[in-house]
Chain A
Amino acid sequence: AQSVTQLDSQVPVFEEAPVELRCNYSSSVSVYLFWYVQYPNQGLQLLLKYLSGSTLVESINGFEAEFNKSQTSFHLRKPSVHISDTAEYFCAVILNNAGNMLTFGGGTRLMVKP
């Protein structure tokens, strides 16, 4: 069975500092990869996704993630965070033969401090 591991449950960081949220998955077959963000008392919003092609994907608000097949990783990075980035971040995968079923990691709480 596929699984997703987010290695850090909490990441505290100061405003304007860089951040990396780590995500590893276990699968020997092709996958689609996603990062979702959840603000307090809200549902999930798609941040970015990798389906195929370029291994580096970017979001409109400065986040990027790189698909590394050999290391089965899809880490999320941002060079300079803002207070407004404080939220829970979830990595998720779909096997390409598993319909549209998302398997999520446990989440990483990003806490940006002034």
Chain B
Amino acid sequence: ETGVTQSPTHLIKTRGQQVTLRCSSQSGHNTVSWYQQALGQGPQFIFQYYREEENGRGNFPPRFSGLQFPNYSSELNVNALELDDSALYLCASSLGRLAGGDTQYFGPGTRLTVL
């Protein structure tokens, strides 16, 4: 049990719609990262937030956006959904921004299906 929760567990949307996924980090964790895991593949880094500011971004288009709130919760928003957005979306929290050795604690994920 990592203390990181995500909602909803599963979600079905249609192409062109917008979706918001939520994550609640461990208390005291200032950094949250979001990853997309397509079926049968490893997770891919979407972006990271540190103290409510974006702190790094992977190779994802601007229709993927996020927010981090002072209460250790965060959101991933995806606009204009495409079929290829179907995946498991994972959030991970860690203590600080640091240089890379900090352990990231993952939530159970949200399974998004786009029809």
Q: List chain A positions with a Cβ less than 8 A from chain B.
A: 4, 6, 32, 36, 41-46, 49, 51, 90, 92, 94-107
Q: Is B70 an interface residue (CB 8 A)?
A: no
Q: Contacts A42-B108, A43-B108, A99-B99: A106 and B94 contacting too (C-beta < 8 A)? A: no
Q: Contacts A42-B108, A101-B58: A94 and B100 contacting too (C-beta < 8 A)? A: yes
Interface footprint category on B: 20 to 34
With beta carbons under 8 angstroms apart, the residue of A45, A96, A101 that contacts B56 is: A101
Q: List chain B positions with a Cβ less than 8 A from chain A.
A: 2, 4, 31, 33, 35, 40-45, 48, 55-56, 58, 90, 92, 94, 97-109
**Interface contact A90-B43, CB-CB below 8 Å:** yes
With beta carbons under 8 angstroms apart, the residue of A6, A99, A105, A106 that contacts B55 is: A99
Using CB atoms, name the residue of chain B closest to A41: B108
**Interface contact A107-B42, CB-CB below 8 Å:** yes
With beta carbons under 8 angstroms apart, the residue of A32, A46, A106 that contacts B42 is: A106
**Interface contact B97-A100, CB-CB below 8 Å:** yes
With beta carbons under 8 angstroms apart, the residue of B35, B44, B90, B97 that contacts A99 is: B97
**Interface contact B109-A100, CB-CB below 8 Å:** no
**Interface contact A104-B43, CB-CB below 8 Å:** yes
**Interface contact A105-B108, CB-CB below 8 Å:** no
